Structure formats: structure tokens, C-alpha cells
Amino acid sequence: MDSLKVLFVGNSFAVDTMEHAANIAHALGIAHVKFGTLFVGGCSIQMHYEHAMEDAGVYTYYINEGEGWSSTPGYRISDAVKSDDWDWIAIQHGTHGTSRYTSPACYERLDALIDYLKALAPAHTKIAFNLTWLGESTRQHHEILSYGGNMALMREKLVEVTKQIIVNNPKVDLLVPTGTAIENARTSHIGLLTRDCYHLSVDKGRYIAGLAFISTITGISANGITWTPCGVDEYARQVAIEAVQNAQRFPLAVTPSQL
């Protein structure tokens, strides 16, 4: 694969997922990249749809063409989608509120949002849904508290709604198990993968997420990657590869690490 262009209609978890994406893509042999991330904090599918219908310039637009990220405020979804011939447009559930959007009602506008994006994008553009991670169970957070601290129950509900709404949705071309890779890695000795029990750590957490995302949408094995960001040692690199490959094999089930 010589080039890859991905637009992410997202929130802070999208920023986490894409932080190291360019370096990872280059390390996996992709020479030319363009990654765009539309950011509104905590933005849900319903909120994205409303912003799209209003053609509202409420997004910070992050762009990386292989030389680092730059940002432009006041951006509209329509302008970002029409700005290039994207290979993929990625979306994910919101990160505001308490229950991590485990109710089917939170996805009522999903198909309409995808239709809007596809109408503006080139015919070849595919839609990816990025499955995100749960908060760390070691600290108190409104998301965790909403399930009484029962993270197993929260994951069960998230898997249920993903199976119901995403997996067999003909408008979604690919489920990217980013969150499953993070959950897999947590079963190793890698330590905490968030910086505030919620958003991913700048080094290990974002590295695992980026590797899961890029490896999955390209179909390129994570196994041969040697590049790591500062703060990711050899053990963490091996855990990342194992976690990603297990997530790709079993996207909705946590696989215990053997490392």
C-alpha cells in the first residue's frame, strides 16, 4: 500500500487514537499519508448529526500529512469531507455522559449520519466504526460510577449494543476493535494505559490504539512494526502487537495476555 487517507469525525478519543497514526503507518510501509480529525469534546453521533444538518463550524480540524499535526478552528464537517478523496471516514460513539452510550437509542442517527457523509465523499470511501475503550477501573470516574464500579457489566452492555447496531449494519464497512486491544493489553503487566483514568496515556495507550486502528483498516499485520514513541519499551511493543492481533481475531472479547 503506497498511500492512505483517513478522515475521523470524532472527539477526544479520536485524537487519542490518531496521535501516532502517521508514524505507525510509515513504519508499516505506507509512504504517503493524510489523516484528518474533526474534534468536538465528547461529541456523540447525535451531536455530529446535528452539527452536520446545521453545517455548523464548531470543530477543531487536525491534519497530519506525515510531518506532524496542525489545527484549524471553526471547521465544518462538509468542508472536511469534500477536501480530499478519503479512503476511509471513521466515526465512533460519544464520550460525554455517564454510561458510554450503551443504549441503542444513542445510535438512532447513525445511519443518517453515514448517509450524509457518503453523499459528500467519493464513491470509493469506506466507513469504519472505531470501538473505544473503557475507563480504568482503579479510579473513580462518572463513567465507572454509572455502573456501580462494575466494569465487566459495562463492557457486556457495550458489546451488546455493538453487536446489535454496528456489526451487521450494511452501512458500516469495518469495525475497528481499538478498545478491545486496550482491554487486552490491560491483562498484561504493562500498567495503566490512561492519563486520567479515561483518556489514553500519551505513550503506551495511544500507541496501542493507533496500531490497532492502522493495522485493521489497512490489513497490514502489526507483527513487524519496530517504531515506538518515546516511553514505549520493548516489552510494551510486544504487548501492543499481541493485544492488537488478538483484538483482530476476537474483536468483542478480551483475550488475556501471555506476556
Q: Cα(195)–Cα(42) distance, rounded to whole angstroms?
A: 17
Burial of 229 (0-12, 13-18, 19+ CB in 10 A): middle
The CA distance from 181 to 113, in Å, is 26
**Taking Cα atoms as reference points, which of 139, 138, 113, 146 lies closest to residue 127?**
113
The three cell numbers locating residue 225: 512494526
Asked whether residue 256 is assigned to any structural domain, the reply reads no
Please state the domain count of the chain. 1
Contact 81/120 with Cβ under 8 angstroms?
yes
Residue 257 lies in a domain: no
Tens digit of pLDDT at every position of the chain (259 positions): 899 999 999 999 999 999 999 999 999 999 999 999 999 998 999 999 999 999 999 999 999 999 999 999 999 999 999 999 999 999 998 766 544 567 788 899 999 999 999 999 999 999 999 999 887 765 565 666 666 667 788 888 889 999 999 999 999 999 999 999 999 999 999 999 999 878 999 999 999 999 999 999 999 999 989 999 999 999 999 999 999 999 999 999 999 999 9
* E-state strands within the chain: 3-10, 32-39, 59-64, 69-75, 88-91, 126-130, 174-176
94 part of a folded domain: yes
> What domain range includes position 195?
3-249
Which residues neighbour 173 within 8 Å (Cβ) at sequence distance 6 or greater? Answer: 126, 127, 128
Whole-angstrom Cα Rg for the chain: 17
**Domain containing residue 219: CATH number:** 3.40.50.1110
Half-sphere exposure of 46 (CA within 13 A, CB side): 9
3-class secondary structure, 22: helix
The reported pTM is 0.95
Between CA 125 and CA 91 the distance in angstroms is 13
Tell me, yes or no, whether 191 lies in a domain: yes
